[in-house]
Structure 1
């Protein structure tokens, strides 16, 4: 019988690439199937003699028996355990979407009178939730360029409880020095959460750099097939226990067993996929940088990236997302939408097929960021009138470049 018990003495010697396949998994003892099972039941029987079950944080739900799928589920719990291995976390909480993971984090850790700092450029839903919704509940929010640790330090207040960053950020691929920022925040007893969706644990493991929480939209690279929504928060057991007791129970954004099963299917090929698309993205970014119609390329793996040195320090690869400016964004948008043979014109990232979308500065200003004059100036230094964001898939880099030649003619 093949021995892949995650508790075996040899498991700690395995690379994370290998553990993506073998951690928290054993062949079914009855059928000997070597694909994870799906526990689709909402309800589980239990013995009333087992004692009272508290969902208010007195007991960690994940340590108790499976009772109700809205709280815990065997398949979802297996996904959490496997993700925790890859991020080198003590525990994890899965949610129905990446946005649910963010809202569970903010609403579980913050209350009226607290202060939150977020990156000035980040996922639109996160920015809007933080700046437009949280203040309604008495939570103070500051928007800071977290590329500069000094700016974060200057924004700290006595009531600051949490700093939330994206690195690389969406859509400008700005980086934050996780290690330097975590050292600053630990001196002030402030938590640091890192949205690492663009990186995945293949590229960066924020907890090993001092972060308290790592957040992923599992919809993106970790699933990798564009067919399921999901989110996850990872960190120490005490913090995840608090999030599970509040966000996991009361916000109602539970991940379904079938979604968890699909995400586990995707994460088993995560290392191979991230290596392939990162290699392709670097090749394409270098090609774009030499094209006469391209004004600027934003990609952490280019020496022209303002934070290339930091990227080399905290990124094992440089990822699959490229943003670039062009001389005529209107004509290029139409060509990507109607003439591309390789790029699907669509939102989201992390699909096995390459995606492209135009993100205009004016649209982001009107709908999401609502820039101050200074913030708009800073944004336009990278984005100009807007950027084309590419999510590189698993196609040949040569074929993608051939298509880009046609689109940029």
Structure 2
């Protein structure tokens, strides 16, 4: 008997979940736009084609899933080394699906004290309205995490690298701690992508992405996903797809699959360029500090070499005269577009002031803010590196930072 084929991740990015159309032999996935799929009910019941529960039908209603969306889910699961995945309208929809599917009134959530602003605000401002207790913790401090765990703690949510500091979480150690206490661990791996880190192989229960960013890679489609075991994904899908209306459209799923097919070469090119640019910035006389996991100066460089295949496509740096430099990026840049978001094929830049984030989002204790400022000072410029030649990007930075 021949052994089952075991493909490398670069191959799975192209082939997982895809087979040429039987009729046309098309080598590109079709877009199935149909909202409804017909079925024949069993006599005297509401089951479809002999299936006891309509929810078990392969395709029934696009609010649950559809053939194009299912291909995307299968490809993400293959790349993340998980059993299954559920694709959503946005990254925030994926996070909301996890929180509201797994947490109930009286439960306790531990969340990274620095993460994507909308996620932090959801946890801090919305979840308590539903009786869910939330504790922000610096997840680099495992002792602090252990002290924060309570009998009613159900979930720890991390982000690695975290936005905007590029601080890392030791996922293997945190997963070990969570399992000791029978607590689930979810990780937003948007900045890393499966090219750089595959959290499930380190013991993480749920891997979350904003597919809008590097995985799509073209800045033209919103999407999110959560990947994990069949049981957890079924639990999340049964609530979010059926009741939250969070399922991604077929067209966006198709666009994101197109992006996935070039994900591995894109992320390697972007990471190589980002490392060159980070090294250049680190030697610039006006730059005070550069945070980039691929630099030996990163406070967690050793962890980065163990947990990340590349340094990634995002760089943050500190510089004096922040407002003046921001105006230069916004008005004079030709290659860096002054805009929020990350992971596009074109390079982006934006200023993130510490005081603004403290007032609008984090509202940290004095000690938490001190730790934040260790990475960010009074503010950082966040660069999302695209596919331009790195020498051209460096020339533009040299002109803007002079």
TM-score by length of 2: 0.97
Q: Is the 8 A contact 1:46 1:65 kept in 2?
A: no
Match in the other structure for 2:196 = 203
CA deviations on 1:240-282 (whole Å, 9 max, x unpaired) are: 0100101121111110000000000000000000000000000
Q: Following TM superposition, by how much is the alpha carbon of 1:60 offset from its aligned partner in structure 2, in angstroms?
A: 9.0
1:357 match: secondary structure: strand
Q: Any idea what the Cα deviations from partners look like across 1:19-47, whole Å, max 9, x if unmatched?
A: 11112111111111111001101111011
Residue 257 (structure 2) pairs with residue 264 (structure 1)? yes
> Which structure 1 segments of 5+ residues have no match?
1-7
Q: 1:60 touches 1:245 (CA, 8 Å); kept in 2?
A: no
How far off is 1:52 after superposition?
Answer: 3.8
Which residue in the other structure is 1:236 paired with? 229
1:375 aligned residue: 368
Task: Give the Cα separation in 1 of the matches to 2:47 and 2:329.
Answer: 55
1:11 Cα offset (Å): 2.9
Q: Take 2:30 and 2:4, find their aligned partners in 1: how far apart are those partners?
A: 25
Matched, 1:177 2:193: no
Number of equivalences:
397
Shift of 1:113: 0.2
Is the CA contact 2:325–2:400 (under 8 Å) kept in the aligned structure 1? Answer: yes
Structure 2 counterpart of 1:40:
33
Contact 1:128 1:368 in 2 (8 A): yes
The 3-state SS of whatever aligns with 2:100 is helix
**Conservation of the 8 A alpha-carbon contact between 2:215 and 2:263:** yes
Q: Name the CA distance, whole Å, in 1 between partners of 2:141 and 2:242.
A: 36
Distance 1:307 1:45, change over 3 A: same
SS at match of 1:238: helix
Q: Distance in 2 between matches of 1:286 and 1:59?
A: 57
Could you tell me how far apart the structure 2 residues matched to 1:167 and 1:392 are? Answer: 18
**Change beyond 3 A, Cα 1:52–1:211:** farther
| 1:343 pairs with one of 336, 348, 354 | 336
Say yes or no: does 1:121 pair with 2:114: yes
Aligned partners of 2:41 and 2:47 also within 8 Å: no
Deviation at 1:90, TM superposition (A): 0.1
Q: Secondary structure at the match of 1:271?
A: helix
Aligned CA distance change for structure 1 residues 228 and 210 (closer, same or farther; 3 Å): same
Q: Tell me the CA shift for residue 9 of structure 1.
A: 4.9
Matched, 1:167 2:142: no
For residues 69 and 381 of structure 2, the distance between their equivalents in structure 1, rounded to whole angstroms, comes to 35
Tell me the residue number matched to 1:5. Answer: none
Asked if the contact 2:186–2:206 (Cα under 8 Å) also holds between the matched residues in 1, the reply is yes
CA distance in 1, matches of 2:291, 2:180: 33
Unpaired runs of 5+ in structure 2?
none
